[in-house]
Amino acid sequence: MTKPISRREFFKRSSRLAAAAGFGGYNVFHTGCRTKKGAYLIIKGGTLIDGNGGPPVKDTVILIKNQTIKSVGKVGQIKTPLFAKTINAKAKYIIPGLIDMHVHFVDPLFCEQFLFYGVTTVRDVGNNTNDIVNLRDKINKGEISGPTIFTSGYLINNQRIPFGASRYTAVVKTPAQARRVVQILAQKKVDWIKIYITLPPKLTRIIIQEAKKYNLPVAGHLRRVNAEKAAKWGIKTLEHTTGISEALLGDEQFEDAPPLWTISNKTWLHVDREKYNALIDLLVKKDVYITGNLTLYHSMASTPEELQKDLPEKLIPQFYLDGWKNYLNGRFLELTQDRESWKITEKKVAEFLILFKERGGKVIAGTDSPWPYLFPGHSLHEELQLLVTAGFSPMEALLAATRYSAEALGQTHNLGTLETGKAANLIILNGNPLKDINQTLNINTVVKNGKIIPRKLY
């Protein structure tokens, strides 16, 4: 059993990693553990769930060279080098490394936390641009061990938000500023553009158009612009299933949306199921992905005590738990206290995602970690569980966190599935996740870029 980590030890470790990552302008030192040149890793005998959605394949061999999968096949059909590190995966199950499509990577310590839980790729949608781009590049160069990061840097809004995320907000008020902010973010080499709640339609449209010039896909936590309009203008992902209830109700009433963060809990209460299909068909036609984010709705619909019950407390520092509780009982009390509305909302959002999926839509897995009780890495497994509870098959839930997310990222050539030529990011599980989705947490080994991640946190 891991001992709970003290606050002092935690911050010591966190600031050491922050220094290594260059957060806050520190100099860089090397913490990397690069795989040796020409190093092979063989994973033998396991049942492969490759992330493409097909039936699992028993008795497989995966041959990894350096960071890449060199070949995959049945035992006996793949030639393997004589002297190579070999993992015996008999009676085990192998899935692709998981992708969390909605995080805020505000502490470099998350590197260890995400990898520990098999989350080998994340999309960061709101952060200090320089810090996160710096960390992303250092991980890509192998200087720091962490998940592969895709990031928007600052999120774009037309006013400051009255809580922590204001530090990660670029405020734009005019069309010229809207264009300029996209240009600056593109120069800083972000991978995405993220637009936020109070951005009015005119500026939203300009930003999506400008982003197209730089080949930057746009993610939206929408409110004043509904999903129908955003889809027609070319948005790529809808965060937390936002913009949908607004589209179903008509967005005129949201022109004066409050600046406080909201995921439109009240609006979902009034939507009419009969209108779902037309909107879904448009979103599918426009190739829009939905970050369902059931974990976030679930966290709103639950008490801190209920949420804490489901967490591996020993692995989560006590001051995290205390901080989260204070947060929800303090400044967010007004938002979260109406739990009955949130319960209905969680159900309605889940119903919508099922219908979306059944009509050909692609749901992707995202958590909004480190939102209270959504611990980096662990929360993605909770998202998979909630998708299955909602009515997704375990395979469909896995697709949301593997191939579909890689598609939304434009990374299917490298990520999301276990095939020859792709990044060697995988999880070896002790149990079958297709029988019981909880088995994704029953982790035996995590491999990121061909490197075995230690089975310990901190």
Q: Fill in the per-residue mask, 39 to 78: x = in contact with Zn ion (CB under 5 A), - = not in contact.
A: ----------------------------------------
Compute the least distance from the CB of residue 281 to Zn ion, in Å.
27
Compute the least distance from the CB of residue 104 to Zn ion, in Å.
6
Contacts to Zn ion from residues 350-409, by CB under 5 A: 368
Q: Is the CB of 124 or the CB of 143 nearer to Zn ion?
A: 124
Place of tokens 């999301």: 416
Q: Which residue is nearest to Zn ion (CB)?
A: 368
Compute the least distance from the CB of residue 293 to Zn ion, in Å.
8
Compute the least distance from the CB of residue 129 to Zn ion, in Å.
15
The encoded tokens of residue 137 equal 């590049």
Compute the least distance from the CB of residue 369 to Zn ion, in Å.
9
- Looking at the DSSP bridge assignments, the partners of residue 123 are 150
Q: Is the CB of 261 or the CB of 458 nearer to Zn ion?
A: 261
Q: Is the CB of 10 or the CB of 371 nearer to Zn ion?
A: 371
Q: Is the CB of 131 or the CB of 368 nearer to Zn ion?
A: 368
Is residue 246 within the footprint of Zn ion (CB under 5 A)? no
Q: Is the CB of 194 or the CB of 362 nearer to Zn ion?
A: 194
Compute the least distance from the CB of residue 77 to Zn ion, in Å.
45
Q: How many residues bind Zn ion (CB under 5 A)?
A: 1
Compute the least distance from the CB of residue 10 to Zn ion, in Å.
23
Q: Is the CB of 106 or the CB of 182 nearer to Zn ion?
A: 106
Compute the least distance from the CB of residue 101 to Zn ion, in Å.
11
Q: Is the CB of 368 or the CB of 383 nearer to Zn ion?
A: 368
Q: Is the CB of 92 or the CB of 221 nearer to Zn ion?
A: 221
Q: String of b and e for 224-239 (b: at least 16 CB within 10 Å)? A: bbbbbbbbebbbbbbb
Compute the least distance from the CB of residue 28 to Zn ion, in Å.
28
Say how far apart CA 451 and CA 97 lie, in whole Å.
Answer: 12
Q: Is the CB of 123 or the CB of 403 nearer to Zn ion?
A: 123
Q: Is the CB of 42 or the CB of 401 nearer to Zn ion?
A: 401
Say how far apart CA 398 and CA 59 lie, in whole Å.
Answer: 21
Compute the least distance from the CB of residue 406 to Zn ion, in Å.
20
- Kindly list the residues in this chain that would bind Zn ion in the complex (CB under 5 A): 368
